[in-house]
């Protein structure tokens, strides 16, 4: 029961902007004692739990993590619900719902990370009141997970933090975070697949290798787009197009769909303010958007398991909002052809 109290104390202390010394003074203990609590070396005496909970503005149930853990399925359902509710009930209501859920399950790093990522994605696409307040809390949630004990989730949270710092021009903070990430080690998934194969559990082995393949292919696309972005900044459009063509080949050969296949070329066309080419590419991408999940029917990923409900309508809505806000599209925004293309995204499935 007590194994996670250290994370709860640290989380609520930071939320209240308290120091370890302030907690120590309030409870009549030493600051090193509080430090040991937060590092899981020792635990508060049972007589201190109630006053500690009051000082941290929580309750002893939360302090002791009496709430049951959430399953992956429950977390996935929550994430889908939040994504839908943002468009139906508004950002503020959804933000408050997430805040309450995190208070209820303060030790569930996966819930904190995934809900924070959804809120952050919508926040970057919209101009709204209290933007800075929302951003500050989202960053705090990312930090909670980044310094947690679940390595994979911590790395994902660190990446989100770094990206936010870079976007805000806080390069020094981003570098500090990157320096804290350990070098990539051995991928145990390969050994797991070999173990499955030795046991003649071939479907399980196939699934692991297909997931690695899908992850690596998306990594290649991401790297190519980063290179293209750099070349566009230097106006090296001919060289950028070489990489864009390679990106299209990868996307098409590995069944990622035309929306992904055309993204790199669209980036270049928008940078060059090429109206006809931008509209042509946008038309192809939006027309093919319904096939974004064509990997479900691909022979390359036939052993991977996919949810029946992939949240397609929410993703389509996010793409729609992104296109509406993208300033790079301003030079074609009033074109009748652009308005016609955008109307396709507005049609209900």
Residue 147 has phi, psi (to 5 degrees) of: -105, 20
Q: Name the residue with tokens 């940078």.
A: 271
* 297 or 122: which leads in pLDDT: 122
Render pLDDT for 62-95 as a digit per residue (tens, 0 to 9). Answer: 777 655 567 888 888 898 899 888 888 889 999 9
Mean pLDDT to the nearest integer, 90-104:
89
Q: Name the residue with tokens 């709204």.
A: 128
Mean pLDDT to the nearest integer, 123-141:
86
**Distance from chain centroid for Cα 290:** 22
CA distances from 65 to 104, 107, 137, 140, 294 (A): 9, 8, 22, 20, 41
Superfamily, domain 2-63? lambda repressor-like DNA-binding domains (1.10.260.40)
Do the two domains 2-63 and 72-180 of this chain adopt the same fold? no
Task: Give dist(CA 303, CA 201) in Å, integer.
Answer: 12
* 286 or 13: which leads in pLDDT: 13
- Choose the weakest-confidence range: 27-31, 42-46, 220-224, 262-266: 42-46
Cβ atoms of 307 and 285 closer than 8 Å: no
Predicted TM-score (pTM) of this structure: 0.57
For residue 180, the model assigns a pLDDT of 67
The mean predicted confidence, pLDDT, of the chain is 84
Does the structure show a pLDDT above 80 at 185?
no
Q: Smallest Cα–Cα separation from 248: which of 302, 303, 288, 208?
A: 288
Helix (H, G, I), strand (E, B) or coil at 193: helix
Task: Give dist(CA 147, CA 278) in Å, integer.
Answer: 42
Q: Please, what sign has the CA dihedral across residues 161, 165, 167, 168? A: positive
CA distances from 245 to 127, 232, 252, 274, 331 (A): 34, 15, 11, 17, 24
For residue 347, the model assigns a pLDDT of 52
Does the structure show a pLDDT above 90 at 265?
yes
CB atoms within 10 A of CB 313: 14
For residue 263, the model assigns a pLDDT of 92
For residue 247, the model assigns a pLDDT of 96
Residue 127 has phi, psi (to 5 degrees) of: -95, 120
For residue 3, the model assigns a pLDDT of 41
Q: Please, what sign has the CA dihedral across residues 289, 293, 297, 298? A: positive
For residue 193, the model assigns a pLDDT of 84
Mean pLDDT to the nearest integer, 223-239:
95
Q: Smallest Cα–Cα separation from 110: which of 85, 136, 68, 74?
A: 74
For residue 83, the model assigns a pLDDT of 86
Does the structure show a pLDDT above 80 at 296?
no
Mean pLDDT to the nearest integer, 238-266:
93
CB atoms within 10 A of CB 240: 25
Residue 332 has phi, psi (to 5 degrees) of: -120, 5
Q: Where are the domains of the chain?
A: 2-63, 72-180, 207-346
For residue 349, the model assigns a pLDDT of 45
For residue 286, the model assigns a pLDDT of 82
Mean pLDDT to the nearest integer, 309-335:
75
For residue 115, the model assigns a pLDDT of 94
Q: Locate 325 and state its tokens.
A: 């806000």
For residue 213, the model assigns a pLDDT of 94
Cβ atoms of 275 and 230 closer than 8 Å: no
For residue 229, the model assigns a pLDDT of 94
* CATH class entry, domain 72-180: mainly alpha
Does the structure show a pLDDT above 50 at 294?
yes
Cβ atoms of 231 and 237 closer than 8 Å: yes
Q: What is the DSSP letter of 347?
A: S
Task: Give dist(CA 65, CA 30) in Å, integer.
Answer: 24
């Amino acid at each position: 029961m007590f194994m996670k109290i250290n994370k709860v104390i640290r989380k609520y202390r930071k939320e209240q902007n308290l120091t370890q010394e302030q907690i120590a003074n309030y409870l009549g203990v030493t600051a090193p004692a509080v430090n040991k609590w937060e590092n899981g070396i020792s635990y508060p005496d049972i007589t201190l739990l109630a006053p500690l909970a009051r000082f941290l503005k929580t309750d002893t149930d939360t302090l002791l993590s009496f709430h049951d853990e959430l399953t992956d399925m429950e977390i996935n359902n929550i994430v889908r619900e939040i994504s839908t509710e943002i468009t139906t009930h508004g950002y503020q209501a959804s933000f408050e719902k997430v805040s309450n859920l995190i208070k209820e399950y303060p030790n569930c790093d996966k819930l904190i990370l995934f809900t924070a990522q959804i809120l952050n994605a919508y926040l970057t696409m919209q101009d709204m009141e209290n933007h800075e307040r929302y951003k500050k809390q989202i960053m705090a949630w990312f930090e909670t997970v980044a310094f947690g004990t679940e390595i994979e989730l911590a790395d994902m949270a660190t990446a989100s933090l770094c990206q936010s710092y870079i976007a805000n021009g806080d390069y020094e903070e981003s570098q500090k975070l990157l320096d804290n990430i350990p070098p990539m080690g051995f991928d145990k998934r390969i050994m797991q697949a070999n173990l499955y194969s030795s046991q003649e559990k071939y479907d399980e082995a196939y699934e692991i290798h297909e997931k690695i393949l899908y992850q690596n292919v998306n990594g290649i696309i991401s790297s190519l787009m980063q290179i293209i972005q750099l070349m566009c900044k230097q106006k090296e459009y001919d060289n950028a197009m070489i990489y864009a063509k390679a990106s299209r080949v990868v996307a098409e050969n590995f069944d990622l769909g035309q929306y992904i296949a055309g993204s790199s070329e669209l980036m270049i066309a928008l940078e060059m303010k090429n109206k006809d080419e931008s509209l042509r590419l946008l038309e192809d991408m939006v027309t093919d958007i319904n096939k974004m999940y064509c990997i479900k029917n691909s022979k390359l990923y036939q052993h991977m398991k996919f949810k029946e409900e992939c949240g397609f309508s929410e993703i389509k809505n996010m793409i729609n909002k992104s296109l509406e806000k993208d300033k790079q599209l301003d030079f074609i925004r009033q074109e009748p052809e652009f308005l016609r293309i955008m109307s396709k995204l507005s049609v209900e499935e």
